[in-house]
Chains A and B, each alone.
Chain A
Amino acid sequence: DVKVTQSSRYLVKRTGEKVFLECVQDMDHENMFWYRQDPGLGLRLIYFSYDVKMKEKGDIPEGYSVSREKKERFSLILESASTNQTSMYLCASNYQGNEQFFGPGTRLTVL
């Protein structure tokens, strides 16, 4: 069974904190993605990665960075969390142009 897991379902942080969101997939997929999901805005791509140590900016990379040290793991980093980063964060992975498989999401609240 295909699995994309995310380290936390719910997270509450304070403004200015450094936040790490972790994503792990067990399908040996080259491509991994981070999206944020907001009501009325749909899903927007933050960053993606084709391979280990490779990263590409998506549509809304400001305020975020990523790390991919191992093929199965893709981390999203908020260097200094702000209230406008309160959102649902979804990780996904796929092989080439095939179906993307999504994690359960992390609901982040920044106070």
Chain B
Amino acid sequence: DAGVTQSPTHLIKTRGQQVTLRCSPKSGHDTVSWYQQALGQGPQFIFQYYEEEERQRGNFPDRFSGHQFPNYSSELNVNALLLGDSALYLCASSFIQSGNTIYFGEGSWLTVV
């Protein structure tokens, strides 16, 4: 049973470019959340997708957008990259019912130069 898988694992982008990160949830999970983790910090919630809709959003600008597909996989898009967007981007999946465990992927390391 594969856990949460993310791709790519590492990437380098130039300031102003756009990036797309991908996530496949753990089998049986229907909810995907994205987090940004800067070095030395805890993860910060970006948004959550359920039933292909954005259900909750953290304090991130509109440059951050996402999508959930019918197979529950998800993408995170970041436009007009800034140096400060350099971070580990984590995808987490869960089953919608409250009280269930969240599983994190290993993350995608984004470096903006």
Q: Do A and B come from one complex?
A: no
